A = this chain, B = another copy of it.
């Protein structure tokens, strides 16, 4: 569709995005899974946002019209959460879809297909989930990424064009694309995959950043923040328990002084 490669299409600044967030703290609604609600709320607070886990029918749609950003994460989708998700996405365009374990499990897979019609601003998942949502993979056995990030590049681009939003594939190198441009974000610490909620809370931070910048910038900025904060936490921890604690400290510290973030972002190149 676009023959140009390696052409610089834009300058993205996570540093500027985080500064904007700290100046005007966004209200973020999360419809998310039972495993990570606490960690996600604490990650949002650490970054500087105001979390609200408003996820019941009769309230979720009303609230999404007030919130600056909305996360819909399909990790443990109870019947009420499924109704709440359908309500919420009708009243906002600033929402992130995290299709946890889509492709493996039927209830959430059907829900994800329905939610996609409401055009999420960002879809965030691991390579297996993005492949499954794009119709090109099995979805792995759950939340593990059994496929590599690069293996999902084509699927991510196709999904972005089809869904009309940005797709962020999390992995050792994060890949973010709007279907036309591809940006890679470098760095991070493997301990982030040894605690639950790393990826899920990343989606929530992307939703927070939708309150202050465009989808591509939001997805890239959140990914850069997580790369730097996880490295900082990794250097100060003795295992997964102390890592999770140090990571929340680091999210706060890095979001408050985000100067080093821009260096983690590769050039935006045309998607092939």
Contact = CB atoms under 8 A, between A and B. Distances in A.
Given A240-B248, A241-B249, A56 B77 contact: yes
A52 B101 contact: yes
Range of interface residues on A (Cβ < 8 Å): 35 or more
A178 interface: no
B41 A53 contact: no
A245 B248 CA distance: 11
A239 B101 contact: no
A77 B59 CA distance: 10
Interface stretch (A16-24, A104-112, A165-173, A259-267): A104-112
A196 B45 contact: yes
A75 B53 contact: yes
Copies in the complex: 3
Interface in A73-93: 75-80
Interface string A41-53: 1100110001111
A51 B253 CA distance: 30
Of A39, A63, A105, most B-chain CB atoms within 10 Å: A105
Nearest to A237: B249
Interface stretch (A3-11, A27-35, A115-123, A208-216): A27-35
A252 interface: yes
A235 B248 CA distance: 17
A71 to B, nearest CB: 13
A119 to B, nearest CB: 25
Contacts of A58: 106-107
A143 interface: yes
Interface string A240-254: 111011111110110
Of A55, A75, A195, A241, most B-chain CB atoms within 10 Å: A241
28 contacts: A27-B142, A34-B34, A38-B38, A38-B39, A42-B240, A42-B244, A46-B241, A50-B142, A53-B75, A55-B76, A56-B76, A56-B107, A58-B107, A59-B107, A59-B108, A63-B142, A79-B80, A194-B252, A237-B249, A238-B249, A241-B245, A241-B247, A241-B250, A242-B246, A242-B248, A242-B249, A244-B245, A245-B245
Interface of A: 27, 33-39, 41-42, 45-46, 50-56, 58-59, 62-63, 66, 75-80, 101, 104-108, 141-144, 194-197, 237-242, 244-250, 252-253
